[in-house]
Amino acid sequence: PAERPLQGMKVLISAGPTREPLDPVRYLTNRSSGKMGYALAEAARDMGASVILVSGPTQLPPPAQVDLVRVETAAEMYEAVIARAEASDIYIGAAAVADYTPAETQSEKIKKRGDTATLVLRKTRDILAEVAALEKRPFTVGFAAETVDLEAYALDKLARKNLDMIAANWVGQAEGGFDSDRNALEVFWKGGREALAMTGKKRLADRLTALIAERLQAGVVV
């Protein structure tokens, strides 16, 4: 039925920030609230999907009838997503995953010394790219959060990570992006694009999810 286009589908979604510990009391993180990913989980559920939401630390209530898996670090998010990706029909990477994590986590609180301090960071694994590279891969949708050159970076991520679709948003602006209740998306796939105008994150999630269902259908060869 038109209003439940994801009936019977398994949808895996990542949401929120990650938290990379420096020592027992400090961590590196970002401004993601989880609102976009949680709205997508509710939208996919409302369209009939069974939904697993892998979430970094957020202040949000768990969405009803969604299987919530809580993680903290990028490494934990990687494990939680990869373990479930091949059994999923769709993966949507809405989480703001740390690109770098402290090379070492100190077991004791780091002491104050000198006027400057240097952190050594190591690159994390790219969850989205690794999902897209799986042998039995889900329809893979990435996000791109950009402060400049939105379209060029989004198209680069779509091609380089071999995604089925990418949803790009401006961040660091007065409205939309991180933490805001509203957002707008420029969505790209191979051979097409659609602009989803600024609106509440749940309405926007409904539109993106409907677009995913539509592209998924279009890709099914009968």
Instruction: Show binding-site residues for CTP.
Output: 99, 109, 143, 157, 161
With b for 16 or more beta-carbon neighbours within 10 A and e for fewer, the 53-73 pattern comes to bbbbebeeeebeebebbebbb
Of 44, 85, 145, 187, the one binding ligand PMT by CB under 6 A: 145
Q: Measured from the CB of residue 96, what is the shortest distance to ligand PMT in angstroms?
A: 4
Nearest-approach distance from CB 137 to ligand PMT, in angstroms: 14
Nearest to 209 by CA among 94, 74, 67, 126: 94
Tokens 């993106």: give the residue: 208
Q: Minimum distance from CB of 107 to ligand PMT (Å)? A: 25
The only residue of 95, 158, 165, 187 in contact with ligand PMT, by rule CB under 6 A: 95
Binding-site positions: 99, 109, 143, 157, 161
Residue whose token pair is 């060869």: 221
- Strand runs labelled E in the chain: 10-15, 20-23, 26-28, 50-55, 67-70, 90-93, 100-102, 121-123, 139-146, 165-170, 182-189, 192-200
Stretch that binds ligand PMT, among 4-12, 44-52, 110-118, 174-182 (CB under 6 A): 174-182
Residues that bind ligand PMT in the complex, under the rule CB under 6 A:
14, 16, 32-36, 74, 93-97, 99, 124, 126-128, 142-145, 157, 169, 171, 177-179
